């Protein structure tokens, strides 16, 4: 790298740090968290007699810890194993301290966290900003107005003493006003930060404000949470995934401003490897979540995962886009709704730390054949149509060649082509030719 490029690189990095200085500064979640979460596949199944392999239990969590400790998952970057609702006893003890369900979690949460840590993984847990969790277990609030401090001080210290690494805070069973939710989520976040243990803080705060019809201040939420749910729960259904991705695209101007290292928008779990998504749809969700800088939290059964879906989930060059240290959330550049004539597709892009550009071409046309998609340099923000760009296909992990002005590729139905574009002839640390 020459001196001019070196100083340009430092200046860009300095300006980026200033522009995102409002974010939560608890030292964790500098890139989107990656891992597995129990809820979307196992929900609130607690009958271990009838469903011994599907109930939310120590056995289920340990089996997933064992799988994610395997080298290919570790190398891909997955590290969090997150328990959701139903892990608790139905009431607090005489000191108002939470306990686990002793039948389903006989060894307790500290033991389970220690087990995860021994496998080079981290354990996440669930609570609720209400009197009860969504399923009906004890929440952090003593009343529906969530009068402070409730049980928040106690629970934050309890989670820290167990060695918990991520806390998901839901929002059922309280009065959903911005005053109550803002106050509660901010207060609990401070208690986590004061607990003496670094923990990812995952908030459902903005989703409950949205549902109440209140305008969400995402940059304010970014000051207090590492990741936050903004929209509907994802279901094992392609229509649900489409709806969420389209909502993110429709609201991107607001959402992008709040995202950055340590604070990311969370569109909910990856449905890859469950029942509904085809192979091309699974590739699409993975690519789009990666370009959106979304947490990559799988909501599947890793014990019965088809190898072809596993290959998507550990696609190293796709994951590299998600984990890019710049932390920028990608932008939807093209969104059309007429099928035929190369018009029913989306184009997303994301600037990367070294000056490259990630691009997703997404074929949304219901016709049962591949569609040819074209995108030009002007649309992508490349400064000159005369620029020669080296293009790499990230799923195929191969170079496609050098292109000038535009690129045209066939894309399967419901599928994507995920690309990395680089100015031809420059090294990794060269000057930028792409505007963000």
The alpha carbon of 67 is separated from its chain's Cα centroid by a whole number of angstroms, namely 20
Residue 186 structure tokens: 């901010």
DSSP code at position 336: -
Rounded distance between C-alpha atoms, residue 70 and residue 107, angstroms: 23
Rounded distance between C-alpha atoms, residue 227 and residue 35, angstroms: 13
Rounded distance between C-alpha atoms, residue 294 and residue 259, angstroms: 9
Select which of 220, 233, 237, 246 is catalytic.
233
Residue 423 structure tokens: 């100015």
What separation in angstroms does the CA of 293 have from each of 181, 266, 299?
25, 9, 17
Q: How many helical (H) and strand (E) elements, i.e. helices and strands, does the chain have?
A: 15, 16
Strands 296-298 and 388-393: unpaired
Residue 272 structure tokens: 């890859």
Rounded distance between C-alpha atoms, residue 305 and residue 401, angstroms: 34
Rg (CA), the chain: 22
Q: Is 66 a catalytic residue?
A: no
Select which of 84, 165, 170, 346 is catalytic.
170
Rounded distance between C-alpha atoms, residue 172 and residue 227, angstroms: 18
Q: Is 233 a catalytic residue?
A: yes
Catalytic residue IDs = 170, 233
């Amino acid at each position: 790298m020459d001196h001019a490029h070196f100083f340009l690189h430092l200046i860009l990095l300095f300006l980026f740090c200033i522009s995102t200085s409002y974010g939560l500064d608890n030292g964790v979640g500098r890139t989107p968290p990656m891992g597995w979460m129990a809820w979307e596949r196992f929900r609130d199944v607690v009958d271990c007699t009838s469903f011994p392999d599907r109930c939310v239990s120590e056995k289920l969590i340990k089996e997933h810890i064992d799988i994610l400790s395997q080298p290919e998952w570790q190398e891909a970057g997955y590290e969090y194993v997150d328990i959701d609702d139903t892990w608790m006893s139905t009431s607090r003890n005489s000191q108002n301290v939470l306990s686990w369900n002793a039948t389903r979690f006989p060894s307790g949460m500290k033991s389970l966290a220690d087990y995860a840590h021994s496998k080079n993984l981290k354990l996440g847990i669930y609570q609720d900003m209400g009197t009860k969790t969504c399923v009906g277990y004890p929440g952090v609030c003593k009343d529906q107005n969530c009068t402070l401090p409730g049980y928040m001080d106690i629970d934050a210290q309890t989670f820290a003493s167990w060695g918990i690494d991520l806390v998901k805070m839901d929002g059922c069973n309280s009065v959903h006003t911005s005053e109550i939710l803002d106050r509660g989520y901010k207060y609990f976040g401070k208690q986590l930060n004061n607990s003496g243990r670094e923990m990812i803080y995952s908030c459902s705060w903005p989703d409950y404000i949205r549902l109440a019809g209140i305008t969400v201040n995402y940059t304010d939420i970014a000051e207090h949470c590492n990741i936050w749910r903004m929209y509907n729960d994802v279901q094992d259904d392609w229509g649900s995934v489409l709806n969420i991705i389209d909502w993110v695209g429709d609201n991107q101007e607001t959402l992008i401003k709040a995202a950055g290292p340590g604070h990311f928008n969370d569109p909910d779990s990856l449905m890859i490897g469950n029942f509904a998504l085809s192979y091309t749809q699974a590739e699409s969700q993975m690519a789009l979540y990666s370009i959106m800088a979304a947490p990559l939290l799988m909501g599947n059964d890793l014990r019965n995962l088809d190898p072809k879906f596993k290959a998507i989930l550990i696609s190293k060059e796709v994951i590299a886009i998600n984990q890019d240290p710049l932390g920028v959330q990608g932008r939807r550049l093209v969104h059309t709704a007429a099928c035929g004539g190369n018009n029913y597709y989306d184009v997303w892009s994301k600037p990367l730390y070294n000056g490259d550009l990630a691009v997703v071409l997404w074929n949304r046309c219901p016709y049962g054949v591949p569609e040819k998609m074209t995108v030009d340099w002007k649309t992508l923000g490349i400064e000159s149509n005369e620029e020669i760009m080296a293009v790499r296909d990230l799923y195929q992990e191969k170079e496609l060649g050098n292109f000038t002005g535009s690129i045209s590729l066939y894309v399967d139905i419901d599928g994507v082509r995920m690309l990395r574009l680089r100015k031809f002839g420059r090294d990794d640390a060269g000057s930028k030719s792409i505007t963000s």
